[in-house]
């Protein structure tokens, strides 16, 4: 039996860069191949979303995204 965990490390400058963009009025978005739970955790760690603004975030997976944008062209 073994348990293995892998975690990508957020570069130290990322949360500050996100904050700078947000303060300048830029809406920061993240695109990733991770699943929804992982994506939310990364976005929170980077400061893209916070527990105070979960209603402002939209998390979707590939099929939902393709439908929303009208597919690939």
Number of structural domains (the chain) is 1
**What is the per-residue burial (b if ≥16 Cβ within 10 Å, else e) of 8-42?**
eeeeeeeeeebeeeeeeeeeeeeeeeeeeeebbeb
Write out 12-38 in H/E/C secondary structure.
CCHHHHHHHHHHCCCCCCCCCCCCHHH
CA distance 40 to 71: 24
- Write out the two tokens for 21: 């963009």
pLDDT tens string 44-53: 999 998 766 6
pLDDT tens string 9-58: 899 999 999 999 999 999 898 888 888 888 888 899 999 987 666 555 67
Any domain includes 1? no
Any domain includes 20? yes
Q: pTM of the prediction?
A: 0.72
Domain of 19 in residue numbering reads as: 14-51+60-69
56: DSSP letter: G
Any domain includes 39? yes
């Amino acid at each position: 039996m073994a348990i293995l965990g892998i975690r990508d490390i957020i570069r130290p400058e990322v949360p500050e860069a996100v904050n700078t963009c947000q303060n300048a009025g830029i809406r920061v978005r993240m695109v990733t191949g991770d699943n929804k739970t992982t994506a939310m955790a990364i976005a929170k760690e980077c400061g893209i979303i916070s527990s105070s603004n979960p209603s402002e975030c939209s998390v979707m997976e590939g099929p939902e995204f393709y439908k929303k944008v009208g597919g690939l062209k």
